[in-house]
Structure 1
Amino acid sequence: MRNISSLRCLFCAYPKNKFLSKYFSNQVHRKAEQIINEKRVIFSGIQPTGIPHIGNYLGALKHWVELQNESDDIYYSIVDLHSLTIPKSRDFMRDSIFNITACLLACGVNPDTTVVYQQSSVPEHTQLSWVIGCIVPVNRLKHLPQWKEKLESSIDGGGHIGRYTYPVLQTADILLYKATHVPAGEDQAIHLVLTNEFAKSFNRMHGKFFPETQMISNPTFARIRDFRDPRVKMSKSSPSINGRIELTDTDSEIHSKIKRAVTDCTSQVTYDPENRPGVSNLIQIHCGMCNITPEEACAIACNMDTGKYKSLVADAVIDQLSPIREKYLNIRKDEVKLKMVLDHGAERARVVAKSNWESIRELLGINIAEIS
């Protein structure tokens, strides 16, 4: 029997957001009893846009590995189609797909028990995306915050249609496997709302088929900050390489980047994300690497200034990442094996995707294969 307290749902992390808090709270109370005894179907994806950094690791990959301890159906997709919204070279894409696959394996994702596959190898993703696009109102997409941000920052009116329909494909990714749970961060919360809105619309029009999807989130590590500018989220696209620690960084690079991390003029180590984002970011990283709470981290650092604390955090990061880095370097050498992992995962994913897609076609009235 599953323990309800282990279902760490997003609404707990965002009490100030009344809409999301109420939405996810209602989900939990309405579904808690049936979730206890049900087998979960978990889906999540990661773009092949570079080597993951510690924000990706603490916010997603570490959690992905931990979820494997449950007896669930798990799909981790390398969402290469999503990454095409920003044009990249052929060689970059190819290398990045292998890089991210090697990173997943090095972190501990087990391809024997978890379905690890390349999104574009399963054509049903885009087929279901078309169906969703025929139901979701245009104005609904216009109100998504990510689109508004792109529109405001773009000099070409928001760019191509792929950026606009990105959430539609994202919804298809989740629903294609009838996922019941999605491990994700706060920036994806509104997209899960869209996913459930579409599922309800489809079920209302064609009969009950898609489940309601819950979000699983670790609020403490949802937004690891940039070392050079702790006001913003750590990102692969950060203009400064010193703003992030990648999983393949050497021990000396890790020490150097944390030593140069922006903090403030107060030497005491205290956890105050709003007023002391730089120091609080270091505490969050320390907590994630050592599986402790912010209170425990501050107690450990009670006699330290921020300089000494940075060294402690760097050592904690190195202890966690060094074995991952060595595994990655070894695994990455064998592209044949990496391709075998992705091919095997795609075969397993296609079995479920094809079955669900044929059921959807039947509900839509476009499956005439059974007529003799």
Structure 2
Amino acid sequence: MTRVFSGMQPSGDPHLGNLLGAWVNWVAMQEAADCIYCVVDLHAMTSPAEHEPETLRQRTVELATGMLAVGVDPERSILFVQSHVHEHAECTWLFNCVAGFGELRKQPQFKEKSEGRGESVSVGLFDYPVLQTADILLYHADEVPVGEDQRHHIELARDIGQRFNHRFGDVFTLPRAVHPQAASRVMDLQDPTSKMSKSQSSEKGIIRLLDDPKQIVKKVKSAVTDSATDIRHDRTEKPGVSNLLEIFSGVTGEPIEKLAAEYDGGGYGPFKQAVAEAVVARLEPFQDRYRELEKDPAEVARLLSEGAARAREIAAPTLAHAKQAMGLLPPGEA
């Protein structure tokens, strides 16, 4: 069975883009793959200015609760918190001794996030892709579902894994990036040329998964469109309308072309109302399940603890094999 690994940072409230762009696929993949899903809390510490300890703890629990509420099933998948499996941090050091300074410095995400920050940039931000490599390679993942903007990180993971295997013997499986067809790139409601983002979208531009239905309706109705009235999918000419059509399709499963034909000619008002109602209906079962889990934090903690134990059953032997291959002395031997 194909093994899939994916993770998400607890860096803010989950939003519609997380649901349609990632979680829908995570849930679907459980039907045919061996899935391992992770709350990557160590990655959320790479920016000192944004790292607040209590907030990190709270968001870690909230994100794990959201993953469970959306349909990640601990009976069929492994769900755990990254820092609960110490092998991730230890394997990162092994890969640090294989990765090159130059290839890390060239990573697009590091260049983007470090621009203008001078000497205040953390080593963690620079080393982020190596930790991500450890996340993936520890579990012999065959596939990593990612957006196009993350493809270079998977390529780096392959490069590091291949270099390690060449120098020390075949230890790691080389993963491939996959882009599931169902994934949607949800854009900001107020700036439909930019991706919906926890950190960059305005309050009116983002639909959080726990938003009140009235808030959702208001946000969709105020979404930026254009001065015309026709409803068609054209990302260049009509980015706002196209974004709403993609959201509509994502939450209903109906083809974009069918929805455009159905609502074209009726004006933006009825169209936006229909989109808003569809989003509310799609999020209702998620919100109900989330609130149910929220009332039982001990159960969430138990599921995460069991997930970490299952993850270590895979990660620990992989790390031990890698350490042996690199010549590190095992405990108790001389």
- Per the normalisation by structure 1, the TM-score is 0.85
Partner of 2:170: 208
AA partner of residue 58 (structure 1) = L
CA shift for structure 1 position 103: 0.7
- Is the Cα–Cα contact under 8 Å of residues 50 and 99 in structure 1 kept in the other structure? no
Match of 1:17 in 2: none
The residue aligned with 1:143 is 106
- Aligned partner of 1:178 in structure 2 is 140
Paired residues, number: 332
In 1, Cα distance between equivalents of 2:120 and 2:105 = 11
1:80 aligns with 2:41: yes
**Shift in Å, 1:360:** 0.8
Say if 2:78 is the partner of 1:95: no
Deviation at 1:371, TM superposition (A): 4.0
CA deviation vs aligned residue, 1:22-42 (integer Å, no higher than 9, x gap): xxxxxxxxxxxxxxxxx2111
Which residue of structure 2 aligns with residue 31 of structure 1? Answer: none
Aligned to 1:21: none
SS at match of 2:186: coil
What do the CA deviations read for 1:250-293 (whole angstroms, capped 9, x no partner)? Answer: 11111000001111112111111123211111111111111133
Amino acid at match of 1:129: T
1:45 aligns with 2:7: yes
Partner of residue 327, structure 1: 289
Alignment of 1:124 with 2:87, yes or no, is yes
Residue ranges of structure 2 left out of the alignment (5+ in a row): none
Contact 2:188 2:201 in 1 (8 A): no
8 Å CA contact retained: 1:261, 1:278:
yes
* Secondary structure of residue in 2 paired with 1:45: strand
Match of 2:265 in 1: 303
1:156 is matched with which residue: 103, 118, 124?
118
Counterpart for residue 254 of structure 2:
292
Residue equivalent to 2:220: 258
Aligned partner letter, 1:318: V
CA distance in 2, matches of 1:68, 1:217: 16
- In structure 2, the partner of 1:65 is 27
Q: Secondary structure of the residue that 2:93 maps to in structure 1?
A: helix
* TM-score of the pair, normalised by structure 2: 0.95
Partner amino acid, structure 1, of 2:153: H
- Kept in 1: contact 2:137–2:174 (CA 8 A): no
Q: Does 1:225 pair with 2:156?
A: no
Query: 1-side partners of 2:289 and 2:283: how far apart?
Result: 10
- Residues in 2 aligned to 1:306 and 1:211: alpha-carbon distance in whole angstroms: 50
Deviation of 1:295 (Å): 1.7
8 Å CA contact 1:151–1:157 kept in 2: the answer is: no
Measured in 1, the distance between the counterparts of 2:175 and 2:169 equals 17
State the SS of the aligned residue for 2:187.
Answer: coil
What is the rounded CA distance, in whole Å, between the counterparts of 2:261 and 2:197 in structure 1? 29
Partner of 1:9: none
RMSD across aligned C-alpha pairs, in angstroms?
Answer: 1.6
Could you tell me which residue of structure 2 aligns to residue 114 of structure 1? 77
Percentage identity across paired residues of the two chains: 36
Moved more, 205-214 or 134-143: 205-214
Amino acid corresponding to residue 213 of structure 1 in structure 2: P
Q: CA deviation at 1:336?
A: 0.8
Q: Are residues 123 and 290 of structure 1, via their aligned partners in 2, closer, same or farther at CA, if it must alter by over 3 Å?
A: same
What is aligned with 1:187? 149
Paired AA for residue 212 in structure 2: T
- Give 1:158 shift: 6.1
Q: Work out the CA distance in 2 between the residues paired with 1:367 and 1:314.
A: 60
**C-alpha distance in structure 2 between counterparts of 1:155 and 1:58, whole Å:** 33
Give yes or no for the alignment of 1:363 onto 2:325.
yes
| 1:80 partner SS | coil
Q: Is 1:343 matched with 2:310?
A: no
Deviations 1:198-238 (A, max 9, x none): 11111111122222212222367442111111121101113
Contact 2:229 2:265 in 1 (8 A): no
The match for 2:239 among 277, 289, 292 is 277
Rate the CA distance shift 1:222–1:148 in 2: closer, same or farther, 3 A. Answer: farther
